[in-house]
């Protein structure tokens, strides 16, 4: 009888292991609360560390992002270029060459999809939010998946990692159609819902 009980306990322990690995231990009461908190972000500024990979090498870049729900996005890239993302264009200031010019809104896919604002738009517009829970180095994350529109096979799927101790995005990772990591963007000193000078977006 005792042997049967031990076998049953072992069976239930084995069954419980996969669920233990994907459980989300978070201060929020439910997933909707985390998503609602992300959707409540109306502005932010953050330093961002990029790692960009191709088949031959990887490169790193440092930048600063600004987001305002009514004004758009601003990216300051290594004191070399400034990108201001408007509704129908990207305004570029080339600091090194002292030049300014406009680009079509579809020209840049790489940096655009590292802005949290893209995920906020997705959370408001999509009825089928895909997410899963993941533990990395002892920290629990909720990972929100975004399918990147367009025909660029190197930029197909993006994942936003939300740190569940703070309910704040910590990084975004973009993969190609084969599942290879192409871009990672890690947020440093993310400051949300702050007043931003509107001239940043002009």
Q: Which residue has the tokens 């305002």?
A: 68
Can you give the pLDDT at residue 125?
86
Give the CATH number, domain containing residue 157. 2.50.20.10
Q: Which residue has the tokens 């702050």?
A: 194
Residue 17 placed within a domain: no
Q: What is the pTM of this model?
A: 0.83
Query: Helices 116-125 and 31-39 meet at what angle, rounded to 10?
Result: 120
Residue 4 placed within a domain: no
Can you give the pLDDT at residue 24?
57
Q: Which residues contact 142 (CB under 8 A, 6 or more apart)?
A: 24, 26, 31, 34, 131, 132, 133, 161, 162, 164
Residue 11 placed within a domain: no
> Which H, E and C letters describe 57-99, residue by residue?
CEEEEEEEEEEECCCEEEEEECCCEEEEECCCEEEEEECCCCE
Residue 21 has pLDDT above 80, yes or no: no
Nearest to 137 by CA among 163, 157, 158, 116: 163
> How confident is the model over 68-111, as pLDDT tens digits?
999 999 999 999 999 999 988 999 999 999 999 999 988 888 99
Give the count of domains, the chain: 1
- Residue ranges making up the domain that contains 144: 27-194
Residue 22 placed within a domain: no
Residue 124 placed within a domain: yes
Residue 78 placed within a domain: yes
Residue 55 placed within a domain: yes
**By the 8 A CB rule, do 24 and 142 touch?**
yes
Residue 18 placed within a domain: no
Nearest to 129 by CA among 116, 143, 108, 139: 143
Can you give the pLDDT at residue 105?
87
Residue 26 has pLDDT above 60, yes or no: no
Average pLDDT over residues 102-124: 91
Residue 50 has pLDDT above 60, yes or no: yes
What is the separation, in whole angstroms, between the first and last Cα of the chain? 77
Can you give the pLDDT at residue 30?
73
Can you give the pLDDT at residue 43?
98
Three-class SS state of 137:
coil
Can you give the pLDDT at residue 16?
40
Q: How many CA atoms lie within 13 A of 16 on its CB side?
A: 6
Can you give the pLDDT at residue 27?
46
């Amino acid at each position: 009888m005792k042997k049967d009980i031990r076998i049953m306990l072992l069976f239930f322990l084995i069954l419980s292991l996969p669920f233990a690995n994907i459980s989300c231990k978070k201060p929020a009461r439910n997933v909707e609360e985390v998503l609602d908190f992300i959707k409540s972000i109306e502005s932010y500024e953050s330093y961002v560390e990029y790692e960009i990979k191709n088949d031959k090498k990887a490169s790193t870049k440092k930048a600063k992002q600004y987001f305002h729900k009514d004004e758009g996005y601003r990216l300051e890239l290594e004191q070399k270029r400034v990108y201001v993302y408007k509704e129908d264009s990207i305004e570029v200031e080339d600091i090194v060459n002292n030049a300014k010019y406009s680009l079509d809104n579809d020209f840049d896919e790489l940096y655009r999809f590292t802005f949290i604002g893209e995920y906020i738009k997705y959370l408001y517009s999509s009825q089928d939010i895909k997410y899963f829970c993941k533990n990395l180095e002892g920290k629990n994350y909720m990972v929100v998946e975004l399918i990147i529109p367009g025909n660029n096979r190197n930029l197909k799927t993006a994942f936003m990692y939300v740190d569940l101790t703070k309910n704040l995005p910590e990084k975004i990772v973009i993969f190609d159609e084969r599942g290879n990591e192409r871009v990672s963007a890690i947020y440093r000193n993310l400051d949300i819902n702050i007043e931003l000078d509107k001239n940043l977006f002009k």
